[in-house]
Every structure is written in structure tokens, then in C-alpha cells.
Amino acid sequence: MKVQQNTSVKATEEKLKPKLFSVIKGYTPQQFVKDLIAGVIVAIIALPLSIALALASGVNPEQGLYTSIVAGFIVSFLGGSRVQIAGPTAAFATIVAGIVASEGMDGLVISTVMAGIIMIIMGVCRFGKLIKYIPGTITSGFTFGIAVTILIGQIKDFLGLTFKHSPIETADKVIEVCRCIGTFNPNALLIGVISLAILILWPKKLEKIPASLIAVIVCSAIVKLTGMNVNTIGDLYTISSAPPKFSLPAVSFARIRTLVPSAFTIALLAAVESLLSCVVADGMIGSKHRSNMELIAQGAANIGSALFGGIPATGAIARTAANVKNGGRTPVSGMVHSIVVLLILVLLMQFAAMIPMPTIAAILFIVAYNMCGWRNIRNTLKTAPKSDIAVLLTTLVLTVVFDLVVAIGVGMVMASLLFMKRMADVTEAHTWIDDDDEDTDPDNILLKHIPEHTKVYEINGPMFFAASEKFRYMLHDKDTNVLVIRMRNVPAIDESGVAALRDVVSSCAKQNVKVVFSHVNEQPFHAMQKAGLTETVGSENFCDHIDTALLRAEEIALSA
């Protein structure tokens, strides 16, 4: 037993070791060539996506590249996955846009740094495995909701509309689109449709060359050569080719307190998306990531990204998958990707000014479609219980109408309450009867003999506050000297459950009835012991099996 415990502790300690340090020992020149090729290809994929996501987030285009450079390198260097590629993702677009609009860039930097600190604490405290307890309905709901907000946010540029106002909320954007539909630009729509056609059809022919890169090159050339009246990035933004520079925002306690909700939203979303990406990558390469180390790396990456002019970052599933498909098998490919993006920023960024805005909108349409998971939503609506559907739809609607903070908060509360209701519904306490013709114990062919004046109750399911009222009726029969409570199917108990058992024991004591417990599992036993219930009942009345408990009940009956 000691050897197993030491091995377990050692395995836990190893989870805080970056994967790079583990794989670099057997690194070969052949693998470096593969990682180099994969890194270059992923950088080419990341270039238009990073620019598009930066614009969707309401910041300058180069800030998306800063995020890929700084956060991408840190996650690859410190991360718990072999192949994770980090950078800006669509999930953050609406969150970042909202923070920038209301709190400015300083507010975004402070929120992102705070989020990074939260993720580092989560990793150090070994919270990596707890992420899986966020219900899939909530994840599906806010992911689809974010996709809807991204799509609505790009209608303006896709149609070439001229807004009179600058709406922030999604509902206001819909109203503004309807109000300004008369400013529709046919040239912009044409470029947008051409971009969409390339993005949809190109992967069916030549998957190796990113469709987004082809769309950017072709449509930029069309607009430049024909002189079409279509807005480009250079028309709306001043693009810098300077590398990332360190800067600190003005910080105050009042500002920090205001931005705490935004920081927790960024941290939660970054943690969930990063670990989901790691799980997908594990399945592709047959590896196992270190979730807690990944959280620490993501936290450090977000701090670094914010302080060097970037935006929140997380693991990007599409770019990670592209890395794997092109031969990347170690964190070196992710580091190469960051270096190549830096070189593109410094040497070729002036050409980004020529990219048409409808092309950026088309790229984000495809991003929104790929992330929405509509098939999963459809299956959930068809097969899931009504309670799960309610959580999903509530989270989805609140994400679109309000924001992610409200959506996740309400979704988690709803999911928790519904889960507790389900657990309370399946938790029960039923009595045994001394009838040889009826078998109420699935572990026994014949019902065991119950001693005279003995009542046996078996509790099934967790004993917690939502179900505690179900256990207070156990002793209603006056002709009872011993009450046996069988708890083999009680995996967990909370304070309310212990209180319910204490009330039962107290009621029995008043009626001079002895209580015997059978097969109490580890967690419930420790909870009862901590509450002093084992002393009240007596350790001799805690039996490891129902046979022992029935013998104990017979002894008590004979000695009475």
C-alpha cells in the first residue's frame, strides 16, 4: 500500500512538469524537420485568423499576431501538451470587444493578467480535472451563442454597410443592420461571396494550402487591380509592423474590483477551451496531456500576451489539429509557429493593409460555423431530457442577449439545481420485510432472516440536503427494538444528510431503540465520525456487512 501511495504522489508531481522537458531528451533531427514544417504551415494558417479575430475583438490587427507570438510560444514552452497551439480564438471575440468598449485597452490588460493569475492558481491547486464537471449543455450553449454573436457582428462588413452608430450589444447590432440596410454595397457583397466560395470549396481540392490564405490573396488582388469600392483593413486601421513591446497599465484597487467578473470569465473560458483542445489532441496522437501544467502555462501565456500588447489566448483546436496532421509531435512545432508569425509581422505586415474587410467577415463566418456545433445542439434537442435542453437554450439565449458572465452564471445555477433535484429523486430509503417469497436485495437470492422486533432500512443514493427529508420517517413503527440502516449504496453524504441521521438516532434513543449501521462507505463514515455520530451510536454498532449487522441486532434483542 505504501508503494502505491508513493507512486501516486510521484505521478501527481510529474503533472507540473512541462511536456517539452519530457520529450526533448529523445529528440531527433528527423523530428525537428517535421516540427519545422508543421510550425511553418500552422503559422500560415494562424496569420489571417489572428488578424480576423483581432478585428472581431475590437482591437488592432497586429494585436492578434502579438497574441499568437507571445502566448503561442509560452504555451508550447511550458504547456502540458505535446502539440497544443495557442493564440486568439473566436470564443473570446465578443468578451474582448465588450471589455475594450466599456473599460478600454487598460481594462482588457488588467482583466487578462488577473485571469492568468487565476489559471496559475487553478493549476497549482490541481483544479485541472475539475473542469470536466462543467456540464456539456452549458459548453454547447455558450459556444453556439458566441458563434451567433460573431456572425451577427460581421454582417456589417460582409454587406459593406455604413453604420450611423457603433453598437456594442448583439441585439443593438441587429437593429443597426436593419436601420442601415440602405447603405448596402454590392461590391463588398461580391468580394464576400467570392471569399466564402474559396473558403468552402478550396479545402475539397487542396487541403494542404490554407483556404483562408488563398481567399486573402485572391480577393486582395481583385480589389487592388480593379479599384473596387471596398473597405480594406488599411482603410479602417493603422497597421504596425513593430514587434511586441512590454507595457504596464495604470492599476488601482477600484479598477481591479470592477474587472473581477471579466477576469473570471476569461479564466474559465480559457481553461475549458484549452483542456478540450488537449483532449482532442490526445486522441489524435495517442498521448496524455498534463492538465494542471497546461493551466499554469495558459495562465503565464495570458499574462505575457496582455503585457506585450496582445489579447486573451487559449488552445486553438483547429490550429492544434493542423499541427498534428502536418507532422508536429513536440512543443517545438508550436515554438516554430510563433517565431514564423513574428517574422511575418516584421517583414510582411504592410501587405495586410490590402486585405478586404468582406474577406475578413467571410473568414469569421466560417470560424463561427465550425465552432457552433449545430449537430451537437440538434442531437441534444432530440434526445436529451427537458432539463438539459432548458439549460442549453437558456445559456445560448443569455450569451447572445446579455453576455457570457450572465450566461455561465445562470447556466451553472440551473444545472446545479436540476442535478440536485435528479439526485434527490433517485435517492431513497426502503424497508426490508421478512418474507421468503420476496427478494428485495439484488445481491442475495433469498431474503435474509430479520430478527424479531428489528427494522431494516436500506438507503440508496447520495445523502445531501436536497434529499435529507426522505430519511426522517424511518422510525414510525412503535414495535421496534433495533433499527438497522444499510448504507452500502450511499457514496457520499453532506452535513444535511448527517443531520438527518442524527435526528433518526436521537428519535430512536428517546424510544429506547438501538441503531446499527451496515456497510458505511469511507466518505460517509468520516463525515459521521467528524460529527460525533460514531461515538453516539457506538463503534460496535458499525458493521461491515449486513450479516454482521443482523447478528449484532440479534445480540441487542437478546440482551434487552
Q: What is the 3-state secondary structure (H, E, C) of 128-183?
A: HHHHHHCCHHHHHHHHHHHHHHHHHHHHHHHHCCCCCCCCCCHHHHHHHHHHCHHH
Which grid cell is 333? 512545432
Domain identity same for 332 and 451: no
Give the pLDDT score at 54: 93
Q: Which helix (DSSP H) or strand (DSSP E) does residue 46 occupy? A: helix 29-56
pLDDT over threshold 70, residue 427: no
Give the pLDDT score at 109: 97
Rounded to the nearest 5°, which phi and psi values hold at 545? -150, 155
pLDDT over threshold 50, residue 279: yes
Query: Is position 251 within any domain?
Result: no
Percent of the chain with pLDDT over 70: 89
Domain identity same for 352 and 486: no
Query: Is position 380 within any domain?
Result: no
Q: Which of 360-364, 399-403, 441-445, 523-527 is least confident?
A: 441-445
| Phi-psi category of residue 61: left, alpha or beta, with phi > 0 → left and psi -120 to 50 → alpha | alpha
How far apart (Å, rounded) are the C-alpha atoms in residues 345 and 238? Answer: 14
Query: Is position 422 within any domain?
Result: no
Query: Is position 392 within any domain?
Result: no
Q: Which of 297-311, 324-338, 381-395 is least confident?
A: 381-395
Q: Which domain holds residue 496?
A: 428-559
Give the pLDDT score at 445: 32
pLDDT over threshold 60, residue 2: no
pLDDT over threshold 90, residue 372: no
Q: Pick from 333, 351, 371: which residue ends a domain?
A: 371
What's the full length of the chain, in residues?
A: 560
Residues 390-417 have a mean pLDDT of 85
**Domain containing residue 522: CATH number:** 3.30.750.24
Give the pLDDT score at 282: 87
Domain identity same for 474 and 336: no
Give the pLDDT score at 189: 96
How far apart (Å, rounded) are the C-alpha atoms in residues 462 and 415? Answer: 17
How far apart (Å, rounded) are the C-alpha atoms in residues 499 and 283? Answer: 45
Residue type, 389: I
Note whether 86 and 310 are within 8 A (CB). Answer: no
Residues 13-38 have a mean pLDDT of 87
Residues 154-181 have a mean pLDDT of 88
Domain identity same for 338 and 449: no
pLDDT over threshold 60, residue 156: yes
Q: Which helix (DSSP H) or strand (DSSP E) does residue 455 occupy? A: strand 454-460
Give the pLDDT score at 200: 92
Give the pLDDT score at 356: 93
Residues 16-21 have a mean pLDDT of 93
Domain identity same for 358 and 452: no
Give the pLDDT score at 13: 46
How far apart (Å, rounded) are the C-alpha atoms in residues 364 and 263? Answer: 25
Beta-bridge partner residues of 517: 485, 542
Note whether 256 and 110 are within 8 A (CB). Answer: yes
Q: Tell me: the pLDDT tens digits for 317-338?
A: 889 988 988 889 999 999 999 9
3-state secondary structure of 275: helix
How are the residues of the chain apportioned to helix, strand and coil, as percentages rounded to the nearest 5? 70, 5, 25
Give the pLDDT score at 4: 41
Residues 210-215 have a mean pLDDT of 88
pLDDT over threshold 70, residue 444: no
Which grid cell is 422? 435528479
Residues 436-453 have a mean pLDDT of 59
Give the pLDDT score at 5: 42
- Of residues 6 and 309, more confidence is placed in 309
Domain identity same for 123 and 233: yes
Domain identity same for 67 and 204: yes
Give the pLDDT score at 311: 97
Q: How many CB atoms lie within 10 A of CB 72?
A: 35
Note whether 391 and 141 are within 8 A (CB). Answer: yes
Domain identity same for 332 and 448: no
Q: Tell me: the pLDDT tens digits for 88-110?
A: 998 888 889 989 999 999 999 99
Among 117-121, 403-407, 419-423, the range with the most confident prediction by mean pLDDT is 117-121
Note whether 80 and 301 are within 8 A (CB). Answer: no
Global pTM value? 0.72
Note whether 486 and 446 are within 8 A (CB). Answer: no
Give the pLDDT score at 8: 42
Strand bridging mode 454-460 / 482-489: parallel
Domain identity same for 339 and 471: no
Domain identity same for 367 and 432: no
- Of residues 147 and 444, more confidence is placed in 147
For the chain, the domain total comes to: 2
Q: Pick from 371, 395, 418: which residue ends a domain?
A: 371
Domain identity same for 364 and 433: no
pLDDT band at 371 (very low <50, low <70, confident <90, very high): confident
Mean pLDDT, all residues of the chain: 85
Nearest residue to 160 (alpha-carbon basis) of 445, 356, 334 = 356
pLDDT band at 10 (very low <50, low <70, confident <90, very high): very low
Query: Is position 97 within any domain?
Result: yes
Query: Is position 165 within any domain?
Result: yes
3-state secondary structure of 493: strand
Q: Pick from 371, 395, 410: which residue ends a domain?
A: 371
Residue type, 458: E
Query: Is position 253 within any domain?
Result: no
Note whether 310 and 66 are within 8 A (CB). Answer: yes
Torsion sign (Cα): 448, 450, 451, 452: negative
pLDDT band at 429 (very low <50, low <70, confident <90, very high): low
pLDDT band at 499 (very low <50, low <70, confident <90, very high): confident
Nearest residue to 287 (alpha-carbon basis) of 124, 120, 79, 134 = 79
pLDDT band at 525 (very low <50, low <70, confident <90, very high): very high
Q: Tell me: the pLDDT tens digits for 452-491?
A: 888 888 888 887 766 556 665 666 666 788 998 988 888 8
Domain identity same for 342 and 449: no
Beta-bridge partner residues of 333: none
Burial (CB count <10 Å: 0-12, 13-18, 19+), residue 474: buried
pLDDT over threshold 60, residue 367: yes
Beta-bridge partner residues of 542: 517
Query: Is position 377 within any domain?
Result: no
How far apart (Å, rounded) are the C-alpha atoms in residues 475 and 58? Answer: 65
